[in-house]
């Protein structure tokens, strides 16, 4: 039987709740498809600060280095909001992991299935118009990583600054990810930028155009970020692959999650050049619902499916999980945030959704 080592970093807030369901699903699918995941849990984020004094303990990083893939939950929350920026879980653990493993290519797929149109907050005629988007977000550079950043001055004279910087090489490799993905989809890349005001966006356009020349079968459009957010609500069916910088992809992917129905539905894969990856829901630790047993486990479970597909080469097992999730949602087995106020009484808990997905495998 094939065996893989998975570093499981559940993190904070809803992270452990949804991770528990993902592990149950992966266990069942492994037995069915004849593979074993040796899942080892490691401390990360606010939980690691509280128990070990730092957001990314050396033992956690070393376990990730020795694993075949990382399955990540989410980190952060109000308890750690007042820490200095560089000590916060989001920077000290999440951004550090992305950078350490050079996970530059972040894939965030958002699809409205015909049987799930009713979950979308969009008007039905818009939601049922073939919405199937793959956001490809640059994940290890741009304004989240650029130096210098900081603040200076006192009182009313205080100012703060971040640096948005992109090299040609960084833009080229994420553009190649997007064009490669488009050739396996609908052959269209929409590159999102703000080239009317930002120097980084001007360079972004130039390099994306250069890469496009190597993919004559793929059509390329450029769109400004402000228009992109509007078009996603007005006519999301026009998009195939949306190629974004780190900041714009962060924003656009939350919007993509919501047009499909909920932040709790959107998985993601963060990959390096060698195919090594970290797999995590696109959303955060959702402190507003943590500990109540009502978080949607689907994004975490689908992130597990992406791990099987992209890092472990287990396509059929990944398909199986995705089919079971789709059937579960189509059968109306839904957590509360997907239901209208008058239907909330029929909401299922995190574990009930996990149970039903398992029953469909
Ligand atoms: N990858 C990560 O670990 C990320 C961490 N964060 C951190 O998470 C904390 C909370 O951030 P927010 O801005 O509130 O964003 P969030 O994504 O945690 O929550 C936004 C909204 O989506 C809902 N939501 C998210 N996931 C859900 C799920 N699985 N089921 C049902 N509803 C769900 C939440 O209840 C909330 O109403 C912050 O500390 C933030 O920095 C934010 C984004 C990503
Ligand atoms: C710390 C943030 C950059 C995480 C986030 O919002 C994301 O990856 O979508
Ligand atoms: Mg985000």
Rounded distance, CA 150 to CA 144, Å? 12
Q: For residue 103, is pLDDT > 90?
A: yes
CA dihedral 208, 231, 297, 50 (to 10 degrees): 70
286 Cα nearest atom in ligand 1 = 18
Rounded distance, CA 95 to CA 144, Å? 8
CA dihedral 327, 328, 331, 336 (to 10 degrees): -150
Closest CA to 54 of 46, 62, 66: 46
> Which burial class, exposed, middle or buried, applies to 176 when counting CB atoms under 10 A from its CB (0-12, 13-18, 19+)?
middle
Q: Are 257 and 99 within 8 A, CB to CB?
A: no
Q: For residue 1, is pLDDT > 90?
A: no
Please report which confidence band the pLDDT of residue 213 belongs to, taking 50, 70 and 90 as the band edges: very high
Atom 22 of ligand 1, nearest CA residue:
263
Number of other residues whose CB lies within 10 A of the CB of residue 38: 10
Q: Which domains does the chain have, with CATH numbers?
A: 1-105+267-361 (3.40.718.10), 121-260 (3.40.718.10)
Percent of the chain predicted with pLDDT > 90: 99
For the chain, how many residues are written? Answer: 361
Annotated catalytic residue, options 193, 240, 250, 320: 250
Closest CA to 104 of 15, 188, 172: 172
Does the ipTM surpass 0.95? yes
Q: Is the CB of 90 under 6 A from ligand 2?
A: yes
282 Cα nearest atom in ligand 2 = 9
Model confidence over 332-359: pLDDT tens digits? Answer: 999 999 999 999 999 999 999 999 999 9
Rounded distance, CA 117 to CA 124, Å? 7
Rounded distance, CA 50 to CA 46, Å? 6
Q: Is the CB of 138 under 6 A from ligand 2?
A: no
Tell me how far the alpha carbon of residue 30 is from its chain's centroid: 23
Give me the mean pLDDT over the 225-237 stretch.
98
């Amino acid at each position: 039987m094939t065996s893989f080592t998975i570093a499981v970093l559940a993190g904070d807030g809803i992270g452990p709740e949804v991770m528990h369901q993902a592990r149950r699903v992966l266990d069942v699918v492994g037995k069915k498809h004849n593979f074993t995941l040796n899942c080892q849990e490691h401390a990360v984020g606010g939980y690691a600060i509280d128990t070990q004094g730092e957001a990314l303990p050396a033992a956690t990083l070393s376990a990730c280095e020795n694993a075949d893939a990382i399955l990540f939950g989410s980190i952060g929350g109000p308890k750690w909001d007042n820490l200095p920026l560089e000590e916060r879980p989001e920077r000290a653990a999440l951004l550090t992991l992305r950078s350490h493993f050079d996970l530059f290519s972040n894939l965030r797929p958002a699809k409205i299935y015909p049987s799930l149109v009713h979950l979308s907050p969009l008007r039905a005629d818009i939601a049922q118009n073939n919405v199937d988007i793959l956001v490809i977000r640059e994940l290890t550079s741009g304004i989240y990583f650029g130096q210098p950043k900081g603040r200076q001055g006192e009182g009313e004279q205080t100012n703060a600054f971040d640096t948005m910087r992109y090299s040609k090489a960084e833009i080229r490799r994420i553009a190649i990810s997007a064009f490669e993905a488009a050739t396996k989809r609908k052959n269209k890349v929409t590159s999102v930028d703000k080239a009317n005001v930002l120097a980084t966006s001007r360079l972004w356009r130039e390099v994306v155009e250069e890469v496009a020349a190597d993919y004559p079968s793929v059509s390329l459009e450029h769109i400004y970020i402000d228009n992109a957010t509007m078009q996603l609500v007005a006519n999301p069916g026009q998009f195939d692959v949306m190629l974004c910088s780190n900041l714009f992809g962060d924003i656009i992917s939350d919007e993509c999650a919501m047009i499909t129905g909920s932040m709790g539905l959107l998985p993601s894969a963060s990959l390096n050049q060698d195919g090594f990856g970290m797999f995590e829901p696109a959303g955060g630790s959702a402190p507003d619902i943590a500990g109540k047993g009502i978080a949607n486990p689907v994004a975490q479970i689908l992130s597990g499916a992406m791990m099987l597909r992209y890092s472990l080469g287990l396509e059929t097992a990944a398909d199986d999980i995705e089919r079971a999730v789709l059937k579960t949602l189509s059968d109306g087995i839904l957590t509360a945030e997907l239901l209208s106020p008058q239907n909330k009484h029929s909401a299922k808990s995190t574990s009930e959704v996990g149970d039903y997905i398992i029953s469909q495998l």
